[in-house]
Structure 1
Amino acid sequence: MKRALLTGMVLACSASAAAGQQTGIGYAPPTVARKALQDYAWCTVRREPALAHRFVILSKGEQLSPAEFQRLHDGRCLVQVTAQLGMRLWQSQAALAEALLIRDRGLQGSTTFSAVPALDWTATSPFVTGQNFDAAALSRLAAEDARNHQIARLGECVARADPAGAVGVLKTNIDTDSERKRFTALAPRIALCVQQGQTRNFNRTNLRAGMALAYYRLAVATAAQGKV
C-alpha cells in the first residue's frame, strides 16, 4: 500500500513539469528552457568532448581553470541559450553528461553497477579556480549543491536499480509522450528509491538530469574497472 502511494506521488511529480511549473532551469517557459539547455550541451560536446567529459566527472577538490571554463561556455554554443535561461553549473554538467552518454553508445552496455562503490556527491562548488566568493555566496552555493546532490543521489539509486530504464528515458526527446511513458514505467523504481530514503523533492526535469549525471559517472567508473 505504501509503495502504491509513493508510486502515485512519483507520477504526480513527473507530471508537474509538463503542467508548466518551474522546472529549476532558469525562468524561461519549461519546454523552451529544456530545449535550450539540450542544444547547448550537444554543441559543446561536439566542440569540446574531452573537456566536457572532465567537467562531468569533476570530483571534490578538482576545478577548471578560467580558460577551460570559458571554453565550456563558448558564445557559439550559448548564443541561443543565454536569453532563455539562467543556467546553473550543475545543470550544465547534467546536460553534458546526457549528450556524452548518447554520443558514446559504448557506455550504455552496462547491465549492472554493483561493482562500483557509491558515488561521492560531496559539494564541488566553486568549479573554477580563482573565483572569490564572500561567506554569504559560499553558503548559497553550498545549499544549492546540497539540493542538487539529493537529486543526483536519487538518480544514482534509479540508475543502479534499472540501468536500462534510465537509459530508456535519456534516449527519448524531451517533453514528448515517449519521455512521459518511460518515466511512468520507471515510477515503481523511483518510488522504491524514495521509500529507501532518497529525496521526494523532484520533478521530471531535475530527475532526468540527476539520472544522466549519475549514469554517466557510473558507466565511466565501470569502464575504468574493466581496464585495470
Structure 2
Amino acid sequence: MQARTALMHLALIFGLLPATTALARPASEDPGATEKLRLLAEFTDCVTAQKSRQPAIRTFLRTLPDRPGFGEAGLKAADLTCLNRAATRMHATFEMRLQPDSFRDALFPSLYRREFGKAGPVADFKALPPLRLSGEFDGDAAELSASFVAGRLFGDCVAREDSADAHALLLAQPASAEENAAIDRLKPAFTACIKQGQTISLTRTAIRATLGEAMFKLAHAATTAR
C-alpha cells in the first residue's frame, strides 16, 4: 500500500492569564486537532517506554524551561524512531514540529501513566510537605517565569484536592468522554485552588500538562515517604 503523506504540526498551549475564574475551554471540534493530541500522547508513551531514554528524559525535565540548554536537552530526550512506529501503523509519513516546552508538557502525563497508571491514585497527597520548586531543577528556580510557577502551584493544589479525578483524567484519551467527565468532576478543585482575585484560564491540554507534572511528582514523593 502506498503511504499517504500527512503534515502533523503538534503544538500544545500552556497559558495562565490573570482573571477571576477557572475556565476549561471546550475541546476543539476539529477532528484533526484531536488526532494530533492523541498522536502526541502515543509518541510520548513510546519515548517514555524506552529504558535507554530515561537518563536523557530526567536531565531534560530537570532543565529550567526556556533557558539555555533546554531545547538541546529536549532533543536528546526524544526518540524519533517512535514516529516511525506511528507512521507504520497509520501508513503515513509524519513531520513533527514540536516545541521543547510542548514535549515537556506531554512527558509528565505519559510518565505518570507508565509508573502509576495501574497502581491508582495515592490518597494522602494532602499530608505531603508543601511544594518546593528549588529541588525540582538543576538550576536556580528563581529564574522560572511567573506563569510557570503559577501553573505548578495550581496543579499541585488540584492534585492534592482531588487526586482520584486527576488520575482519571490522565488515564483518559484526549478529548474523550472520560476526559470530559473527569474535568467536570475536577471543577470544584479548580475553584478551590484559585487565589482570591486571580483567574487561571486553561486549555484542556494545559490541564493535562499541569496535573501530569503535579501527580507524577506527588506520587513519587508519597512513595518515598512510606
Maintained 8 Å contact 1:169/1:179: yes
Q: What amino acid does structure 2 have at the position aligned with 1:200?
A: I
Identify the residue that residue 77 of structure 1 maps to in structure 2.
Answer: 82
Q: What is the TM-score with the length of structure 2 in the denominator?
A: 0.67
The structure showing larger relative contact order (alpha-carbon pairs under 8 Å, at least 6 residues apart) is 2
Structure 1 residues 183 and 191, CA gap change in structure 2 (3 angstroms): same
108, 112, 120: which one pairs with 2:124?
112
Q: What is the TM-score with the length of structure 1 in the denominator?
A: 0.67
Aligned residue-pair number: 193
> C-alpha distance in 1, partners of 2:196/2:58?
31
Maintained 8 Å contact 1:55/1:93: no
Bigger helix fraction? 1
SS of aligned partner of 1:104? helix
Identify the residue that residue 222 of structure 2 maps to in structure 1.
Answer: 222
Q: What amino acid does structure 2 have at the position aligned with 1:104?
A: E
> C-alpha distance in 1, partners of 2:156/2:218?
8
Q: What amino acid does structure 1 have at the position aligned with 2:104?
A: Q
> C-alpha distance in 1, partners of 2:198/2:136?
17
Segments of structure 1 that go 5 or more residues without pairing to the other structure are: 1-5, 21-27, 127-141
> C-alpha distance in 1, partners of 2:203/2:123?
25
Greater mean deviation of Cα atoms: 95-104 or 157-166: 95-104
Segments of structure 2 that go 5 or more residues without pairing to the other structure are: 1-19, 88-93
Identify the residue that residue 43 of structure 1 maps to in structure 2.
Answer: 46
Maintained 8 Å contact 2:128/2:221: no
> C-alpha distance in 2, partners of 1:149/1:209?
14
1:1-228 matches, within 5 Å, as: 10=22, 13-19=23-29, 29-48=32-51, 50-51=54-55, 54-55=58-59, 58=62, 69-78=74-83, 83-84=95-96, 86-105=97-116, 108-113=120-125, 114-120=127-133, 145-196=145-196, 199-226=199-226
> C-alpha distance in 1, partners of 2:101/2:132?
16
CA RMSD of aligned residues (A): 3.8
> C-alpha distance in 2, partners of 1:19/1:74?
30
